[in-house]
Structure 1
Amino acid sequence: MDKKNWLLLLLLSILWGGSYFFVAIALTGLPIFTIVFLRVFNGAALLVLFIFLTGRKLPGNGRTWLTLFIMGFFNNAIPFTMIVSGQQYVSSGFASILIAITPFLTVITAHLLTKDEKISSGKIVGIFLGILGVFILIGFESMQWGSKELLGSIFVLTATVSYSIASVWGKKFKSLNMDPVATAAGQLICSSLILLPLMLISDKPWQLPLPNIEVWGAIAGIALFSTAVAYIVYFQILRNSGATNVMLVTFLIPIIAVIMGVIFLSENFKIQYLYGMIMIGLGLVAIDGRLFQKIKGDNQVGS
């Protein structure tokens, strides 16, 4: 990648890493479903505005919208809700590190649900390292049934499972030949429709006290920066550098989220977070495979 795309990758990691910071603030004044609905609804509105300003078009047929509805369910509605639920009990930095195991689960899901993406030996090593990293991260003292840390971890891990299903399902969009920004807007529209009745029934927003300016700022930040702008930047990197390079953002998001949590939210950084992050990072390197291929290639050249 050139310097421009590395800067875009860093920007994307800040945008997505900042979502955990925004959620932590939003939770001080709003309930779960309201936070998630406001994120996807406002994010959808901003992307739709961007689509019309740039001359793009939203999808028009029912089959496409059904695919978008399923994608919105697994890629937005479930994981966003689970992450916000989990952050009631665990820190923003902890949640971001745990979400980094999504590629491991995607490998397993793809192996089980597709015929052309089977697990290789390198991916098996990566999955093992990732699982070990999760155990280190959570800590054995927190693995007592009923503990808040374990409950929060289960919520966040549920989000990673949902993301992995969405990653496999998302391959269907190749055959639809859709504009990627329109795809993102469509799934956010669908997830808004999914979450609206849940928010109205569960949270009764008309009965909620008016949040303070910090909470409204967090909602604006997560909708504008961590959703709408992040999707636009993501697809820009994807178009310029490919899916393999954009996956590198997985390494950077936890670092950004942990730094923001420590500096702005006064969160504690436990040494087990560092060890867990290192193990998960090594696992991601093993799954990616490019470093090992480069080393192998260098050895062959040297011999």
Structure 2
Amino acid sequence: MKKNSYLLLIGISLIWGSQFFLVNLVIGSIPPVTLAAAKALIGAATLALLHVFSGKRTQHSETKPPWRSFLWIGLLEAVVPFILIGWGQQTVSSSMASILMGTIPIFTILFVKLFVPGETISGAQWLSAIIGMVGIGILFVPDLGSSLHGGSMAGDLALLGASVSFAGSLILIKRLPPIAPILAMRNVLFAASVILVPLALLLEDPFHVVLTRQQILAVVILGSFHAGIVYMLYNVLIQRAGATFASFNNYLVPPIGIILGVSVLGDELTWNAAVGLVVILLSLAVGGIQKQKRP
């Protein structure tokens, strides 16, 4: 179980860490809210098709599907963070944004302690979260000077708000009633699209977006893999290992992006990237101590 949880964590981080390549292909041609709405719709459709072709019949329950929970998860996981991140990064550098988003595991631990009485938080988990944040800081230490002087308090608070929102969604996913992950996240993405599509129509002009074939393929991949499939895997990880452990993917995404940049794009591997990666891996090892002690 422990090994499978780590493999899931790495797989999820690989998928999310690779999305920056695809986003760079389309971000200049499609407005951000429209892109988010497209990802949510394509992700929901992907999971719906996977469920149909899997040949598994939905088990009907006497209770109605928790659509209120799906709506709240969609709001906290996709809608609110997207708006806050998009607004905050107008005045905050990407390096500082990554550091602020690294607070998600700490907020998750706080929320677990407050709202999930059956799940205990060990000292190893607290230490793991703190070490992970230190690793993220080391990754971006060359940019910290300009980030601290060039950002704004409002932008920082917006990104911290996005972290709080993400952490809240993890707790809600953990508290979902027993339901197949593929169906749960299909419903969450559908609920998110119900919010995002009207926002895109209100704030942007999605009907006049013109994309090349390569960009269309990139959007489809972003929706099917980086929204649909990865959210299904994320749900599985949360149910298996808990919200706190699942939140550590936020530490792995930046170094994976750096590794892909070095191996695929030929970027230079700097000392701080290498040291930061080692520290982040150490944080995951420390977090695993608590898991080994569980009966």
- In the superposition, the TM-score normalised over structure 1's length comes to 0.73
Secondary structure in 2 matching 1:259: helix
For residues 39-97 of structure 1, the C-alpha deviation after alignment (integer angstroms, 9 at most, x for no partner) is 11111111122223334449897661011100111122234555666778766x99778
The alignment status of 1:169 with 2:167, answered yes or no, reads: no
Residue 68 of structure 1 is matched in structure 2 by: 70
CA RMSD of aligned residues (A): 4.1
Deviates more, 1:57-66 or 1:160-169: 57-66
Aligned to 1:144, what secondary structure does the other structure show? helix
Deviation at 1:155, TM superposition (A): 6.0
Q: Give the secondary-structure state (helix, strand or coil) at the position aligned to 2:174.
A: helix
| Partners of 1:63 and 1:122 in 2: CA distance | 36
1:160-198 deviation digits (Å, cap 9, x = unpaired)? 33221111122321xx22221110000000000111121
Within a 5 Å distance, the mapping from 1:1-303 to structure 2 comes to 11-53=11-53, 54-57=55-58, 64-81=66-83, 102-139=104-141, 140-147=144-151, 157-173=160-176, 176-208=177-209, 210-233=210-233, 242-243=240-241, 247=246, 250=249, 253-263=253-263, 270-290=270-290, 293=293
Deviation track 1:140-166 (CA, whole Å, cap 9, x = no partner) reads: 303435449x99876665443322111
Return 192-201 or 251-260, whichever deviates more. 251-260
Letter in 1 for 2:241: A
**Deviation string for 1:75-126 (max 9, x for gaps)?**
22234555666778766x9977875653333112212333344543223322
Q: Secondary structure at the match of 2:30?
A: coil
Over 3 Å counting, the alpha-carbon distance change for 1:271 and 1:27 in structure 2 is: farther
- Measured in 2, the distance between the counterparts of 1:266 and 1:155 equals 33
TM-score (norm 2): 0.75
1:244-276 deviation line (CA, Å, top 9, x unaligned): 6x8498365444322333455676655434444
Residue 50 of structure 1 aligns with an amino acid whose one-letter code is L
Q: 1:263 to 1:217 in 2, by over 3 A?
A: farther
- Distance in 2 separating the partners of 1:5 and 1:75: 21
Provide the rounded CA distance (Å) in 2 between the counterparts of 1:11 and 1:276: 20
Distance 2:231 2:33 in 1: 21
How many residues align structurally?
A: 287
CA 1:147 to 1:112, structure 2 compared with 1: closer, same or farther past 3 Å? same
Per-residue CA distance 1:3-34 (angstroms, 9 max, x = gap): 99987765544323222322232212212101
Query: Are 2:104 and 2:247, in contact at CA under 8 Å, matched by a contact in 1?
Result: no
Q: Give 1:197's aligned amino acid.
A: P
Separation in structure 2 between the aligned mates of residue 215 and residue 152 of structure 1, nearest angstrom: 30
What displacement does 1:289 show? 2.4
Letter in 1 for 2:169: A
Aligned residues with identical type, % of pairs: 26
Task: Write the distance in 2 (CA, Å) between the matches of 1:115 and 1:10.
Answer: 28
Work out whether residues 109 and 126 of structure 2, in 8 Å CA contact, stay in contact via their aligned partners in 1: no
What is residue 301 of structure 1 aligned with on the other side? none
Given that residues 85 and 152 in structure 1 are in contact (C-alpha distance below 8 angstroms), is that contact kept between their aligned partners in structure 2? yes
CA distance in 2, matches of 1:30, 1:265: 24
Change (3 A) 1:127 1:8: closer
Question: Are the aligned partners of 2:88 and 2:154 in contact in 1 as well (CA < 8 Å)?
Answer: yes
Moved more, 21-30 or 190-199: 21-30
